[in-house]
Structure 1
Amino acid sequence: MSTILVTGGTGNLGALVVTMLRDQGHEVRALSRSSAAYPVDLRDGSGLDAALAGVQVVVHCASSPRGGDDAAAGHLIDAVRRAGTVTNLVYISIVGVDVVPFGYYRTKLRVERMLEGSGLGVTILRTTQFHDLVARVTASLAKLPVVAVPKGVRVQPIAVEEVADRLAELAGEAPSGRVPDMGGPQVRTLEEWGRVFLAAKGSRRRVVGVPLAGRAYAGFRRGGILAPERAVGRITFEEFLARRG
């Protein structure tokens, strides 16, 4: 068994990865700024050297849409080099970061390239959006009488636990570079997903698609965030909603 460090180990994805790896018998260090055992701030790299002592594998789940992922990755890469014991750095990315000019995606792509050029053993997994994101976005918009979503944007959501399972699997393997993408089992527009979500909640609010402008929106509409040839997820959005009650 290995000693594995999981960044973002208390987050939606990271916490599941931590649990799965511990169930497999690994020693797992779940990193966060509030961790009692290994308090780490990836924004400046503080605490990383102590947390990485004796670690063989890193699963990098920490991420922030507010920015700073590239700086955090730089601190992590430098610390992994100093540690000298890490054989595989596993990173979770997003399908479409190389084709959709969206700010957060561009940062994720920079992190991918930093890892690939680091000289370290790395594994990069891209997935489509999580069911949780689709539900959260719809719920936030459903506070209004009419639910307005970007028109014609198709989404292929996947269950976060299936992604966590794949990351735990990759953590036990040799570094593989960029591995095949993971996509959810169904592709529908945001309008359609919104109606599914509202129906499950017993709401009769109307969902309408609103056309937007810009290159990022055009990239979404072209299907840049889809991986229909890699529809390996099994849990549907409806099943996700039923499990959440």
Structure 2
Amino acid sequence: MGEVFADYFSAAATAAAAAATAAAAAASEAAQQHRQHQQQQQQQQQQQQQQQQQQQTRALDLILWQRRLGSVLLLPLLLQHSLLPLLQQQDKELLIHRSTAWRPVAYLLLDMPQQQQQQQQQQQQQQQQQLQLQERTPKRLQPQQQQQQQQQQQQQQQQQQQQQQQQQQQQQQSVLPRFFSACILLSCAYMTGRSKLIRAAALRGLLQLLRPLLQQLAAVRRELAAVQLQQQQQQQKLTSGSKHFRLQLRA
């Protein structure tokens, strides 16, 4: 009997020890989860504080820019950094076409770099050399030679088309920063110009440049408002339909 009681008490003691270790492990896991949750909350609070500080610093920077340079120069900077991403590529191309149509400031936008001019000159020279070679070669050629010449001409045409496409892409990419640099130059001319004629001309050119952009942004905002209205109407229809369906089920 004594041995049986001893075995029983030893088994109970081991079970109690196992339960205690399990409880301790659960408590430690709970403590770790609580710490992780606190750390996550602290990180979120820090991120929110950093975002608020960044927004405050940006606002202060904008206020300082406005005090130092005036609202005339601040307008193109704001359009460049905050409102330009709303436009699509078609709107940008239309903006480029409209802005370059104004003659008083076209030289600020259409000045071609020297590299592009050199490339065009090289292409013209290559075309002239090809024409000269074609004139010098005899008219009667074997069919293999004719095929080779045709293949060479096709390859040259493809290369020329690729070069033209690359040049067009470079021009489109370089026009936008030059557009805003032209706005900034005209703004600086307006701010620093001493004579009334210079300031009036700079302000007129700035308004001519910015008017198409403002029109495009207004159109984009109207489109966004129309899309939001459509989404709201669809949501209202869905909610009303679900309510009607629930009432029918209850009836």
TM-score (structure 2 length as normaliser): 0.20
TM-score (structure 1 length as normaliser): 0.21
More helix by share: 2
